Amino acid sequence: MVKLPTKMDPTQLGASRLSAERRLHTIERRLERDPDLKVQYHNFMKEYEELGHMEPATPQEGKGTCYYLPHHPVFKEMSSTTRTRVVFDGGAKTSKGLSLNDILQVGATVQQDLYSIVLRFRTHQVCFTADIAKMYRQIVVHPQDRDLQRILWRYSSEEPVQEYRLTTVTYGTSSAPFLATRCLKKLADDNKQHHPRADQVLLSGTSTLEDAINMQKEISSLLQTAGFTLRKWASNHSTFLDTIPRELQETQTTLSLDNEDGVTTLGLLWNPKRDQLQVKSNLTHMQAMNSTASTKRKVLAITASIFDPLGLLSPAVIAYKMFLQKLWQDKLQWDELLPIHLQQEWNQLQQTIPKLSHIRINRKVI
């Protein structure tokens, strides 16, 4: 159980129910136009309620300030479990111009920096990854703070709008990542005597198969005591996976040899069977933009979206950065259209961006 780490008095929040209700009506109209989305959205909310992750609330229940979180769907095509999720908007402004996220502490970074974690991942002989099922929602929010996590919902527009309180750490609030990782660290610290290697719960590996299997059992056992179930197990060693129930493994479709994507690992794509890394790219659809006029803002957005934390593709990415430098030297404004000669050069560069995701780098470096 955790409390929300506030940096301002919640009473400074203004009214938020009316704007949340408007957003609910907008979502309802969208769901009516898309029956498939409506089924998925309703199923998601029904599961939320059945698991006790949200509870009915009476209007303005309690003496404290209430904040109403608007919600909307997000789509994750790469997900092998839930492709449509409901996300709660902790950044929605109240009548006083403040949001819940404005009054919450973000929290310190608990885990190692991404660069160090990925480097360590590349040194193991036998490596594995896993995902905690509904990680945030396994952590209960103190009842005193639940009025800051109210939502409006109904399953039919013919029913009256109902008020609920979210009872667990909520995706979309600024403190959620800190609270979740801090709970993991607390769990590991409290159990170091019996589970000395339990602090390696993010992403890990070992030098031998036997050691990897023992570590998997130790980590799974410890996390399960706190309701954290590890799933989507993936490994570069098939014998390791044979010790894990099939339903807890990453789907075979995702891990097939013919699949160009693999498993998303710390922002990169990892193909366990080939044991190779690829830079994750969602820029294929941007090829259609080649014939349209670009601006410095668009060029920067596309260049910045190439996520390459280790600089594996620096020899290629430097070309896009050098082009961006030209735009600065020419003193182009952010939304000024590129001159014809620069637009032609950018079109040629942009055509090569989707090819970056086809470059494979061996994960193991020792």
User: Distance between CA atoms of 50 and 139, rounded to whole angstroms?
Assistant: 16
Q: Give the pair of three-digit tokens for residue 233.
A: 């197990």
Bigger pLDDT: 101 vs 82: 101
Please state which of the ranges 24-33, 114-123, 192-201 shows the lowest mean pLDDT.
Answer: 192-201
Which tens digit of pLDDT belongs to each residue from 205-242? Answer: 788 999 999 999 989 999 999 999 999 999 999 999 99
pLDDT score recorded for residue 59? 83
Task: Give the class (CATH, top level) of 10-115+139-177.
Answer: alpha beta
- φ/ψ of 292, rounded to 5, equals -95, 155
pLDDT score recorded for residue 69? 97
This prediction's pTM: 0.82
Whether residue 81 has pLDDT greater than 80:
no
Q: Is-contact 86 35, C-beta < 8 A?
A: no
Which tens digit of pLDDT belongs to each residue from 14-51? Answer: 999 999 999 999 999 999 999 999 999 999 999 999 99
CATH 3.10.10 range(s) for the chain read 10-115+139-177
How buried is 89 (Cβ within 10 angstroms: 0-12 exposed, 13-18 middle, 19+ buried)?
Answer: buried
Compute the average pLDDT of residues 341-357. 90
- Counting residues of the chain whose pLDDT is more than 90, the rounded percentage is 65
Tell me if residue 100 falls in helix, strand or coil: helix
pLDDT score recorded for residue 288? 43
Which tens digit of pLDDT belongs to each residue from 128-159? Answer: 999 999 999 999 999 999 999 999 999 999 99
